[in-house]
Amino acid sequence: MRHVAVLVLLLVAGCSPEGDGPAPVGPSSTRNATVAPPGPSDVVHDPGAQLLDVRVSGRPGRRTVTSAWLLGRRRAIASSDDGFATTTYVRWSTRTARRYLARPQDARSAVGGRFGMAGLLAWAVPYVASPGRPRVAELGGGDGATLFPFEAVSRSDGYGWRSVEVPLVDGERGYVSGGVVLPDGRLLVLLDHWSGDRGGHPSPVWHGLWASRDEDWSSYAPLRPHVPGQEPAPEGSTWTGLSGASGRDGVAWLTSWDDRVYVSRDGVRWREMRVR
């Protein structure tokens, strides 16, 4: 009975028989609990995630859209062929990036001399919505470190290369962030930086899309398409990337400063496409 009385007193006092202090509040396991790292779907859908890359493939009405996202130091990929009603999420790795985001040869891994542009680097661009014999087009530029100077263009139909130099605009050189060849034969490029840019003060030259005036690709003019729902960037270019998929069913796609994606088959009419 004496031992029972002591135990009752300990419990009333809020102490455990083994310790000399108050009993811990709540489950003790919470002290050492670890928070699980975010999974691929968490990374993709986090409001703070940044769009890294995108691919659009397949036929009209059944497009497959694949996007890559960055959140802190974590990267993840989302892919869907039904407008993201259902989605495949995977962690970013060399293997998954190669599988889901395969792309033409990187700009700085191709030697322009192979394409009639000796001494320049080459960046492959696709012919979108283009049936028939496969054709190849390359943008050429010197070593611009993080930016790619738009200095020359070259193309081939399988019987040799035809190259032309790209002229300056008001004494400035544009830097290209992608390009596609449109069905009418014009070359569409995104020039989102210029040699006259200084710090936070962009050059007065148009930052955005430029299209060749005709099929010889020797002169260019600004292209300002109306894109429903798109908000202009506070300064500089609204667009951050231009790419596309070649072939009869291929489309061009634009990425914007606010991580939205728009697709087009003619470079004139653009519509937004979900990417997550």
pLDDT above 70: percentage of residues in the chain = 80
pLDDT at 132: 66
Place of tokens 């014999």: 133
Q: pLDDT grade, residue 90 (50/70/90)?
A: very high
Domain map (residue ranges) of the chain: 40-102, 105-273
Mean pLDDT of 86-106: 85
User: Over 80: is that where the pLDDT of 257 sits?
Assistant: yes
List, in order, residues 6 or more apart from 233 with CB less than 8 Å away: 256, 257
Nearest to 229 by CA among 268, 190, 252, 262: 262
> Over the chain, what is the mean pLDDT?
83
Mean pLDDT of 184-191: 94
Q: What is the pLDDT of residues 107-158, one digit of tens each?
A: 455 666 777 888 888 888 989 877 766 678 899 998 766 899 999 999 887 7
d(CA 79, CA 83): 9
d(CA 153, CA 161): 10
Q: What is the pLDDT of residues 16-45, one digit of tens each?
A: 444 444 444 444 445 556 677 889 999 999
User: Over 70: is that where the pLDDT of 240 sits?
Assistant: yes
Pick the CATH number of 40-102 from 2.60.120, 3.10.450, 3.30.70, 3.40.1000: 3.10.450
d(CA 26, CA 31): 10
